[in-house]
Amino acid sequence: MPKQDHLSLHPRLVSREVAAQFVCCSPNFFDALIAKGLMPPARRLGERKKVWDIEELNRAADALPTAVKPQLARGG
């Protein structure tokens, strides 16, 4: 069996820093998004390690509001 290149792996669980990068923000802003309930809380991997689930991050990102407010239809 050929050796797998670690760069070809798509991780399911990521660190706080990688989770913040994944949603295009700093780790401190990511913490604020978690506190506001806009991003999911960490999961535990062992007793001390905190990780974030990429699938949960994707769902949270999908639920964020859009940057453009929809225009109200004008009656004629």
The secondary structure of 16-56 as a DSSP string is HHHHHHHTTS-HHHHHHHHHTTSSPPPEEETTTEEEEEHHH
pLDDT tens for each residue of 24-67: 999 999 999 999 999 999 999 999 999 999 999 999 999 999 88
Strand (E) or helix (H) holding 69? none
Residue 42, token pair as written in the block: 């960490």
Reported pTM: 0.77
